[in-house]
Amino acid sequence: MDNPEIAINLWYLFDEHGIIYSLRGRAYVVAGTDEEKLSFLREFSRTDYLIAHPFPVPDRLHTTFVAEDNRLKLALADHRIIDDLGGIGVLFEEVLVELEKQLPAQTELSIGQAPIICITPLLANEHGILSPVTSPTVVMRNLRTPRTSERSIRADYPSAEDPYRINCAESRPRPDLVAAAMSAQGGQLPLKRDTTFRMNPSGGDYLLCIRCMNPFSIPAEFGIVDFWEFRGGDRLLITNREEDYPAAIEQMEEGGPSCWKILAGDRLTWVGWRNHSNGHKPTLLALVNCQHEGYAYGEPASPTLESVMSFGTPTCEVSPEIRRLWMVGYDAAVAKGTPRTWTPSA
């Protein structure tokens, strides 16, 4: 074998908002000229992401999203910030270290300081299906250069305390906070202890409460136990953090038209019609996986006794089109499988 060395395919997973939420890497032993090695990497970059080892976005690049009174630090990176830091290669320093650790002790080869590397973006659509973006594909030999010191990186951003902070209220386009959180956490928002989610649905969107009715059957039985249809300007609060309760806990426990008691094991799905590249489609906007009990509270745009008492009531008969929209949320909830924590209904 002429001039063998370790060459590496690297991939980064991103969504339509430009959010990078996962990395992948795979090493090969290749020989020949540099052009032959690069040709080998490009060919396998189209398929080997399916079996490549996954890696998280490095902690040093985690991004804090700020929207109104929400502040959420997520294990993802904004493509624009990565570009400002010197290019996509800064994502993969830890990946190369881990790939080198996985080499057998018997091999005399190492990744070295200037390996041949092919970096390919993987675009995830709204269903989580990945498509390699093979043109252009980044190819380099100089990825393993000393990165900019953390101090100088911080100096490039407004806050030295929080260099990777995105203010979602800025006028320039920014990723949707809920979509970013969903991408970063495997297509769901886990409702853990002391957690609050605030959301701003559009008119015509729905929130479904989907409950596992019998986890012991095969397959487990699920059902839609309640739903809200939102009007324009409605706001949604999902919480089990007592300081965020909009009313006394006794009132929250009583429930009402605009307040649901959520059980451990429930799944809440927010669905609506959205424009995509291939048309106006029913879309899953959020899936809240309730690992602990809590409350869902709806606030109408103009709170009055009448609007509160009628919150979420349907504006029309449930048509086949609406049922099709609901099934997007229902199928996503059921696909998460039997809840690890389950509370039987009273």
Give domain status of residue 341, yes or no: no
For residue 317, give its domain range.
188-335
pLDDT at 300: 93
The mean pLDDT value of the chain amounts to 82
Q: Both 201 and 315 in a single domain?
A: yes
Which of 139, 156, 173 is the last residue in one of the domains?
Answer: 156
Say how far apart CA 81 and CA 61 lie, in whole Å: 9
Q: Both 15 and 146 in a single domain?
A: yes
Q: Name the DSSP class of 256.
A: B
User: CA 109, 113, 116 angle in degrees (round to 5)?
Assistant: 75
Give domain status of residue 150, yes or no: yes
Q: Is residue 301 within 8 Å of residue 232, measured between CB atoms? A: yes
Q: Both 130 and 224 in a single domain?
A: no
Q: Could you tell me which of 242, 250, 262 has the C-alpha nearest to residue 189? A: 262
Q: Both 241 and 282 in a single domain?
A: yes
Q: Is residue 44 within 8 Å of residue 24, measured between CB atoms? A: no
Say how far apart CA 170 and CA 200 lie, in whole Å: 17
**pTM over cut 0.85:** no
Q: Both 33 and 134 in a single domain?
A: yes
Q: Both 226 and 328 in a single domain?
A: yes
Which of 140, 156, 172 is the last residue in one of the domains?
Answer: 156
- Summarize pLDDT for 262-316 with one digit per residue, the tens: 999 999 999 999 887 777 899 999 999 999 999 999 999 888 889 889 999 999 9
- Summarize pLDDT for 199-222 with one digit per residue, the tens: 889 999 999 999 999 988 888 999
Give domain status of residue 175, yes or no: no
Would you list the DSSP string of 144-183?
A: -SPPPPHHHHHHTSS-SS-SSEEETTSSS----HHHHHHH
